[in-house]
Amino acid sequence: MAPQSVTLFLVTIITCFVVVISFSSATWDQMPRKLSGDPSANNGSVLDCLNALTEIKSCTNEIVVFFANGKTDIGPECCKSITVITHNCWPTILTALGFTADETYVLRGYCDATSSSLSASSGPAQGPSAA
């Protein structure tokens, strides 16, 4: 029983060292700037980055189909998460999830173009016209 506990302890310690080393190798420029829990400071906060990461994991199928078939069916929530990660968090996190740097740039460009076209086409609502 004791050797098994020692092995588990060593594996845990080694895992912690690997995590610390991988985070320390990232530059400070790539780390989120806002670490407060203030909900008004949500542009690039750690919580937003983690939420975006969770959303990216749930829309992986959309991204795979985008690259496999060339279909441009990445939904707005998925694009929002891609935008948050690539603009406000750690852009290299997508490569850690298995996407290449080129794929990350393509996703960022697609979602930037999609969000700008949506904001340009979503003008003020028109009321019903009198006939």
pLDDT digits (tens, 9 = 90+) for 13-60: 776 555 555 555 544 445 444 444 444 444 557 888 888 888 888 898
Contact 51, 83 (CB under 8 A): no
Q: How many domains does the chain have?
A: 1
For position 80, what pLDDT does the model report?
Answer: 92
List, for residues 72-129, the tens digit of each pLDDT value: 778 999 999 999 998 888 777 888 888 898 999 999 999 999 877 765 554 444 444 4
- Domain membership of residue 62 as a residue range: 43-119
- 24: in domain: no
Full-model pTM: 0.55
| 52-to-3, 18, 104 alpha-carbon distances in Å | 40, 24, 15
Could you tell me if residue 61 is inside a domain? yes
At 67, the amino acid letter reads: F
Do residues 44 and 89 lie in contact, with contact meaning Cβ atoms separated by under 8 Å? yes
